Amino acid sequence: MSYFDAASSAPLHPVARQALHASLDEGWADPARLYREGRRARMLLDAARETAAEAIGCRPDELVFTTSGTRAVHTGIAGALAGRHRVGRHLIVSAVEHSSVLHSAESHRRTGGTVSEVPVLRTGAVSPAAYADALRPDTALACLQSANHEVGTRQPVAAVAEACREAGVPLLVDAAQSLAWGPVEGGWSLLTGSAHKWGGPAGVGVLAVRKGVRYAPQGPADERESGRSPGFENIPAVVAAAASLRAVRAEAAAESVRLRGLTDRIRARVPELVPDVEVVGDPVTRLPHLLTFSCLYVDGETLLHELDREGFSVSSGSSCTSSTLTPSHVLKAMGVLSEGNVRVSLPLATPAEEVDRFLSVLPVAVAAVREKLGAPTAATVAPVRAASPAPDALVVDALGRRCPIPVIELAKVITAVPLGGTVRVLSDDEAARLDIPAWCEMRGQEYVGEEPAARGTAYLVRRVAV
């Protein structure tokens, strides 16, 4: 089985396993106690904090360990907002942040705060100028991920941090996806991370708060971890997390070059091997191990099952793979195709031979899914009609049918109207709002817009290409 979903959770690094087992016998006692076992546990905890702080680029007394990366985000945002409540209650996030950040933002909004969401370019990156424009006198905190978890695009953290510094606003950086590859550049104020993203054990997060940042811990007081992360420290897991971070950093320079070569190969070969594919995300300014592409006329969940049967574990941002049946907020913000979405994120030491095997399996898997769904082929597309004086309008009723059926039905009939004619697609699937315009761009047709319908929404497409 080839595991290609390191962005969700990286396999446990061998160093983490060794450190975890070794510290189980030494780190079980209360590190706050003065007897021998407590002192031994405290030494392990302090050493782990120093190791992690060095890798992150902060002082040891600025770093605390939390019970997860999500808890680190929630704790960091809540504490920073509370510490600057006299300034105001305005929070800034980007449109492609991890759900943990967006959930914190929604919680802040429900309690009377205001939130600005900075849009992104089609690559998935924010514009530093647009981010700077969102800053206000009452902005208490700004948040920006270091790299996107779905498409791999790196964000211009240093430029945004400088804009925040000039405005006197602290910047919290969610660095969960990038910490394995190096420290975050720029003058960030708070930083969060998650150990299982870099090969450490699950259940360990990190929160760094720079000295001088106004911060007020929320919730009941607790004397542990500077009052910022209550509860008894899981010292064996913390030790393993710090040891694995140091280990992956030692491998990062060589592995980043090697894995970038493999993901570059996938980015180049997939459009050659599979028709109607859109590779998304920045092709250059991105994480070395991660790439995402979307396939027209493909159900993402079915494709993932096909690849799983062939021995490949990948993930997807397609709406048909989620319980909400809504497209990924990241793909939606980027304005790219969401159907048939595949995210490949390679763990350290992934063999090149497995990438080659993936490239040989993928075209067959995509073709099989398209055949099951009745995707259009040369034989199924309606014949071209001669031009008529007045553009015809054709209605496609795709109500009650999920991705990618509305787009498949549109593709089958587009040539049934003359050049200049329109197709009106009725759909109640949220993904259609994203995928129909994306299909038009890929096919050279004109997306006219949407209008309300008796049920769902009507999406208008004008035929301008043969």
Q: Tell me the catalytic residues.
A: 320
What is the C-alpha separation between 4 and 36, in angstroms, rounded? 44
Q: Which residues of 14-33 are buried (b: 16+ CB within 10 A; e: fewer)?
A: ebbeebbeebeeebebebee
DSSP state of 385: P
Is 346:289 a contact under the CB 8 Å cutoff?
Answer: yes
Q: Give Dmax (Cα) for the chain.
A: 93
- Among 177, 211, 463, which residue's Cα sits nearest to residue 343? 177
Q: What sign does the CA torsion over 440, 441, 443, 445 have?
A: positive
Helices (H), 168-278: 235-273
DSSP strand pairing (139-145 vs 114-118): unpaired
Is 148:176 a contact under the CB 8 Å cutoff?
Answer: no
Q: What are phi and psi of 315, to 5 degrees?
A: -125, 175
> Three-state DSSP class for 112?
coil
Length of the chain: 466
Q: What sign does the CA torsion over 51, 54, 57, 61 have?
A: positive
Q: Which residues of 292-316 are buried (b: 16+ CB within 10 A; e: fewer)?
A: bbbbbbbbbbbbbebbeebebebbb
Helices (H), 157-234: 157-167
E strands in 23-76:
63-66
Q: Which long-range contacts (CB under 8 A, 24 or more apart) does 17-21 make?
A: 17/240, 18/243, 19/236, 19/239, 19/240, 19/242, 19/243, 19/244, 20/201, 20/236, 20/237, 20/239, 20/240
Is 291:267 a contact under the CB 8 Å cutoff?
Answer: yes
- Among 315, 321, 319, which residue's Cα sits nearest to residue 302? 321
> Three-state DSSP class for 78?
helix
Q: Which residues of 220-233 are buried (b: 16+ CB within 10 A; e: fewer)?
A: eeeebbebbbbeeb
Q: What are phi and psi of 460, to 5 degrees?
A: -100, 130
